[in-house]
Structure 1
Amino acid sequence: MAAKRKRHKPEFKAQVALEAYKGNKTINQLASEHEVAAVQVSRWKRQLLQGVPEVFGRTKPEVDPDALTAPLYQEIGRLKMELDWLKKKSLAMSIDDKRRCIEPDHPEMSVQRQCELIGLNRSSWYYQASPAQESAVNLNLMRLIDKQYTRTPFYGSRKITAWLNAQGYPVNRKRIQRLMRLMGIQAVGPKPGTSLRNKEHKIYPYLLNGVDIVRPNQVWNTDITYCPMPQGFMYLVAIIDWYIRYVVSWELSNTLDADFCIHALNCALERGEPDIFNTDQGCQFTSYDFLAPLQERKIRISMDGKGRALDNIFVERLWRSVKYEWLYTHEFQTVPELFTGLDEYFEFYNTERLHQSLNYKTPQAIHFA
């Protein structure tokens, strides 16, 4: 007999979706902490983003002020109790020490809340000697795929599979195809119908044939890459100036939706405007909400055609620098650590790192010349 499907309350879904939207944890971490499937967390976050405009379009209901004060006083009392509990604990502890601080029989605080306050993943408290091996194996494979793909972005699933087999990992191509789709990567070069585009979105023509890129703010380009972490992964989007390699803006997300790409674009447009904005045909970049700010400013939109292997060469070089000079040499344990580390690297990349293609000058020196 098939197992009965578990039903989650709307309040629970909203809580998980809000945590996913904040982006402070990977989807895998949230799925483990709340004991749900990772695909459900991604779906709830997407539903939250789609439903927000409808919520703010409704008329505001009348609210009894007295009905608001009672929960407020209850919340103050709860926060005071949690603060008293925290004062008895030391946050500068190892994971084992933090595990011992958890009180499963506490009369007023759940294990989940105690773990949040002390900075311990709930899955770490429940951890036994033999954790699930499949997810750990897949995460390790994804790290290996990412490193090899960064070295050889022209490798597709067949060559990646053959390379992993040669390294002692007996995996089949179907598994590698699934992991590469999850990572949002595919081989650079001509390929039959593998672009992750939305057929309902409008595709703009490619405008850079025969165009000489000779000055800053002439052409901007954007792309997304995968960032491995000990417990899952994040996605990184960046917008760069083609001529001077200047990183205009960047953003992190735990899902491959368009929202974080739109945020990065709006931040970039606050600093300047290009003549042409070039993207690939990915569904994030062809969505109406992403293209609207460009259309409002009369910025010409260019999209790579199929088989244009060199269009993203400058962004691919940026990803190679980010990963080999920073991500692969640091062990970022949490999303806030990763965000701070990337912020530090991009500041270095723009203002201090010398570029041979720029006659050993920095992008910022040319950008503000």
Structure 2
Amino acid sequence: MSKRKQHSPEFKAKVALEALKGEQTAAELASRFGVHPTMIHQWKRALLEGASGVFERGSRRKPEVDEAQLQALHAKIGELAVANDFLSRKLKALGRDVRRAMIEPDHPALSIGRQCGLLSIARSSFYYTPEGESDANLALMRRIDEQFLETPFYGVRQMCWHLRNEGHGVNVKRVRRLMRLMGLMPIYQKPDTSKPAKGHKTYPYLLRGLRVDRPDQVWCADITYLPMRRGFLYLVAIMDWHTRKVLAWRISNTLEARFCVEALTEAICRFGPPQIMNTDQGSQFTAFAWTDTLRRAGVRISMDGKGRCIDNIFIERLWRSLKYECVYLHAWETGSQAKAGVGRWIRFYNHQRPHTAHGGRPPAMIYWRERQPNQPSQQELRVA
């Protein structure tokens, strides 16, 4: 019988730091270190949330908890978990990946098998290490992404039929899984789509019938999928609705609210807050960190209707241009290559690319020309 795998704090910190660098996708890191992508996400989040403790007053660390007390506490929790069936039923309501991440291999009172039983997951799933998406699936995801830009109204069945007509041997379950992984949602109305995370508040759509005729009146934001040679990354962008200028952007190998908030904070610091921010109802944009940042800046929050990405059509058009003019022309190996490539294209888009909505003038020119009351210097025009 093989020995149970236990990860040291040093190993977890090493993996979390590699994830924080953003050079590799989650699938590549999971294959490299032999851990589940969910654990990588958990360790990265724990590292970011605990980083502030390094800079506490006097650089003093918090006193460590006595090991005997900690073991006694774990044992007590274990006894309560065994005795209390109510707790077990509550845990079943959590997602499988979340429950899997709760298992402690070195728990002093509960074996891994017992913990799996309490959390209602198969013991074998705890030891399973995924190999990431195959080359065939990655190629299929890219083809789905290309077709979705052409026909954003294709649902799972229509996309499956289309791929079969092209000669791909796929079924509905496979296409559904890949589209969910990529975050693609067709634009037609149907119930229970674009769900926010449980407990997150949603907001009404404020742009219907609104005349948007000046910069910083309305901003919009969205997330898209970036195919890589091995795996994929996620890109978020903040755009001014009237001028179409991209104000800030971030790339991440994990799909969470933090990198979206970083882009939002940068945009507000550089350009000041808008009157309205419009997004979809994704969990990143209904998270407290995102909405609280907007409320503190005095920004009104607007969200698209369910299944209606057409409510945020301008940034959807940005993704189309970005992918056909930049992303699909390259096969990036690392996160730094993707960031450099996307950065070059966005600078070109803002300052040089003629835009139809502005009579051939680039978005940055219109943004600074119409922005009041301050006019920027030539240096600001070059860097903004």
Q: Give the TM-score normalised by the residue count of structure 1.
A: 0.76
Is the 1:197–1:282 contact (alpha carbons within 8 Å) kept by the matching residues of 2?
yes
In the other structure, the counterpart of 1:233 is 232
* Structure 2: 5+ residue stretches without partners: 64-130, 370-384
Is the 2:193–2:307 contact (alpha carbons within 8 Å) kept by the matching residues of 1?
no
What letter matches 1:22 in structure 2? K
Task: Describe the superposition over 1:273-297 as per-residue Cα deviations: whole angstroms up to 9, x where unpaired.
Answer: 2111111111111111112221112
Q: Measure how far apart 1:9 and its partner are.
A: 2.0
Task: Describe the superposition over 1:218-269 as per-residue Cα deviations: whole angstroms up to 9, x where unpaired.
Answer: 1100000000000111000001111111001110000101111011001110
SS of residue paired to 2:311: coil
Task: Describe the superposition over 1:276-324 as per-residue Cα deviations: whole angstroms up to 9, x where unpaired.
Answer: 1111111111111112221112111111122434212111100000000
Measure, in 1, the Cα distance between the counterparts of 2:152 and 2:134.
Answer: 25
In the other structure, the counterpart of 2:313 is 313
Q: Measure how far apart 1:32 and its partner are.
A: 1.9
Measure, in 2, the Cα distance between the counterparts of 1:182 and 1:357.
Answer: 33
CA distance 1:57–1:154, change in 2 (3 Å): farther
Measure, in 2, the Cα distance between the counterparts of 1:61 and 1:359.
Answer: 59
Is the 1:190–1:309 contact (alpha carbons within 8 Å) kept by the matching residues of 2?
no
Is the 1:219–1:276 contact (alpha carbons within 8 Å) kept by the matching residues of 2?
yes
Is the 1:29–1:232 contact (alpha carbons within 8 Å) kept by the matching residues of 2?
yes
In the other structure, the counterpart of 1:344 is 344
Measure, in 1, the Cα distance between the counterparts of 2:311 and 2:172.
Answer: 27
What letter matches 1:38 in structure 2? P
In the other structure, the counterpart of 1:295 is 295
In the other structure, the counterpart of 1:23 is 22
Is the 1:46–1:257 contact (alpha carbons within 8 Å) kept by the matching residues of 2?
no
Q: Measure how far apart 1:52 and its partner are.
A: 4.1
What letter matches 1:188 in structure 2? I
SS of residue paired to 2:17: helix
In the other structure, the counterpart of 2:280 is 280
In the other structure, the counterpart of 1:46 is 45
Measure, in 2, the Cα distance between the counterparts of 1:224 and 1:134.
Answer: 21
Aligned residue runs from structure 1 range 141-290, under 5 A: 141-272=140-271, 273-290=273-290
Is the 1:262–1:290 contact (alpha carbons within 8 Å) kept by the matching residues of 2?
yes
In the other structure, the counterpart of 2:119 is none
Q: Measure how far apart 1:5 and its partner are.
A: 4.9
Greater displacement, 301-310 / 328-337 = 301-310
Greater displacement, 315-324 / 288-297 = 288-297
Measure, in 2, the Cα distance between the counterparts of 1:167 and 1:54.
Answer: 55
Measure, in 1, the Cα distance between the counterparts of 2:331 and 2:133.
Answer: 22
What letter matches 1:34 in structure 2? F
Q: Measure how far apart 1:271 and its partner are.
A: 2.0
What letter matches 1:147 in structure 2? E
Greater displacement, 347-356 / 132-141 = 132-141
Measure, in 1, the Cα distance between the counterparts of 2:194 and 2:133.
Answer: 28
CA distance 1:141–1:24, change in 2 (3 Å): same
What letter matches 1:361 in structure 2? R
Measure, in 2, the Cα distance between the counterparts of 1:9 and 1:180.
Answer: 35
CA distance 1:351–1:261, change in 2 (3 Å): same
What letter matches 1:269 in structure 2? I
Q: Give the TM-score normalised by the residue count of structure 2.
A: 0.73
CA distance 1:186–1:9, change in 2 (3 Å): same
Task: Describe the superposition over 1:105-124 as per-residue Cα deviations: whole angstroms up to 9, x where unpaired.
Answer: xxxxxxxxxxxxxxxxxxxx
Superposed CA RMSD: 2.2
Percentage identity across paired residues of the two chains: 50
Measure, in 2, the Cα distance between the counterparts of 1:288 and 1:224.
Answer: 17
Q: Measure how far apart 1:62 and its partner are.
A: 9.4
CA distance 1:57–1:359, change in 2 (3 Å): same
What letter matches 1:363 in structure 2? P
Measure, in 1, the Cα distance between the counterparts of 2:31 and 2:171.
Answer: 27
Is the 2:260–2:290 contact (alpha carbons within 8 Å) kept by the matching residues of 1?
yes
CA distance 1:61–1:323, change in 2 (3 Å): closer
Measure, in 1, the Cα distance between the counterparts of 2:194 and 2:187.
Answer: 11
Task: Describe the superposition over 1:331-365 as per-residue Cα deviations: whole angstroms up to 9, x where unpaired.
Answer: 22221111111110000000000011111111011
Is the 1:304–1:311 contact (alpha carbons within 8 Å) kept by the matching residues of 2?
yes
Q: Measure how far apart 1:47 and its partner are.
A: 3.5
What letter matches 1:267 in structure 2? E
Task: Describe the superposition over 1:17-57 as per-residue Cα deviations: whole angstroms up to 9, x where unpaired.
Answer: 12112212111221122122333322322333444456766
SS of residue paired to 1:251: strand
